[in-house]
Amino acid sequence: MAGCVNSISPPVTLYPPRVSPSPAARSSFLFSGDSVHSLYRLRRVSRSPSIVSPKFQKQIVTAEKTEPLKIMISGAPASGKGTQCELITHKYGLVHISAGDLLRAEIASGSENGRRAKEYMEKGQLVPDEIVVMMVKDRLSQTDSKQNGWLLDGYPRSSSQATALKGFGFQPDLFILLEVPEDILIERVVGRRLDPVTGKIYHLKYSPPETEEIAARLTQRFDDTEEKAKLRLKTHNQNVSDVLSMYDDITIKACDFHLHSFHFSFAVSSLTIYVKQNEETSVIIIIQIKGTRSKEEVFAHIDTALSELLQQKNSAPSSLLS
């Protein structure tokens, strides 16, 4: 890989000169049209190459006709993933697949894998790939996920998990990363409670249960103590850059195959979007959102990105790529 990078001049790889993308393709990447950054970005894009090569255009068109949305969401413990997943699945009808929930179900089943998984979860460590990867792959392969699209929560947490899933042919359209300061996260985790009857999540201080009856039956996740939350946070911080760098690997691989690759990034207040594209992977967009904002504000950012993406996928081939 390193040899590959060195052998190609980065500016040539990332920004081959002077071919403008179509207006439709340009606008499809604008998530916040009124900001200075977006204008800057528009200029960057308009100096960039045609976003897709003719050969790749055919591949995208095919994918758009047949494939529903495929989203990955990542964030530290209590960063608001659960809340955002609920809002996303409610609006977009995606199948929510949480690696943590799959593992907890495995523990509840009493299986050997569940027993082993719990040992790692109690230490706030990643459960080994040989348990997690097939579990997630099997769930993604089920008919509902294939038909309705999926929202994969808490996976991948390492580049090896990302690579494994890619090997099975699962690539996301969008990668969402929720970022929240650590002190807030710990407070959120320690006060978090679950109502086992309704599945609703409460916080003892910020969203307390409505009645005494509910309060009496609330449970706490075994790994939601301060000590374990700190360990999970440490693991998350160690792994997140690894996962994000997985997209760099993809871009590097593109030059291995002598394909076009395309990459730019920009920031709009709390939202950062990176777009990388190559012939092998289609378009992957990473949005980093500061989860300290209200859940409505965070969702508004995600919603904008998803609507744009969906529109792009559903566009007639002629309007998207002409």
Residues 270/293, Cβ–Cβ less than 8 Å: yes
Touching ligand ADP, residues 40-79 (CB under 6 A) = 77
Number of residues forming the site for ligand ADP (CB under 6 A)? 17
Catalytic residue from among 41, 70, 81, 104: 81
**Of the ranges 10-18, 47-55, 88-96, 117-125, which one interacts with ligand ADP (CB under 6 A)?**
117-125
Q: Is 140 helix (H, G, I), strand (E, B) or coil?
A: helix
Instruction: Render the burial of 215-253: b for 16+ CB within 10 Å, e for the rest.
Output: eeebeebebbeeebbbbbbebbeebbeebbebbeebbbb
The residue number with the shortest CB distance to ligand ADP is 100
CB atoms < 10 A from the CB of 73, how many? 26
Is residue 104 annotated as a catalytic residue, yes or no? Answer: no
Determine contact, residues 38/32, Cβ cutoff 8 Å.
yes
100 versus 317: smaller Cβ distance to ligand ADP:
100
Catalytic residue among 70, 157, 188, 313, which? 157
* 94 binding ligand ADP? (CB under 6 A): no
Residue 232 interacts with ligand ADP (CB under 6 A): yes or no: yes
- The rounded distance, in Å, linking the Cα atoms of 74 and 72 is 7
Dihedral of the alpha carbons of 259, 254, 244, 105, in degrees to the nearest 10: 100
Read off the amino acid at residue 187. Answer: E
Pick the catalytic residue from 26, 116, 200, 221: 221
Q: Is 157 annotated as catalytic? A: yes
**127 binding ligand ADP? (CB under 6 A):** yes
Nearest distance, CB of residue 190 and ligand ADP, angstroms: 12
Residues 129-188 that bind ligand ADP (CB under 6 A): 132, 154-155, 157, 161
Q: From the CB of 161, what's the least distance to ligand ADP, in Å?
A: 6
Active site residue 81: yes
Using the rule CB under 6 A, which residue among 21, 49, 114, 124 binds ligand ADP? 124
Query: Judged by CB under 6 A, which of 85, 99, 252, 285 binds ligand ADP?
Result: 99
Instruction: State the DSSP string of 79-137.
Output: SSHHHHHHHHHHHH-PEEEEHHHHHHHHHHHT-HHHHHHHHHHHTTPPPPHHHHHHHHH
For residue 253, indicate whether it is catalytic: no
Identify whether 221 is a catalytic site residue: yes
**3-class SS of residue 257:** coil
| Positions marked catalytic | 81, 157, 192, 221, 232
Give the interface with ligand ADP as residue ranges (CB under 6 A). 77, 99-100, 103, 120-121, 124-127, 132, 154-155, 157, 161, 223, 232
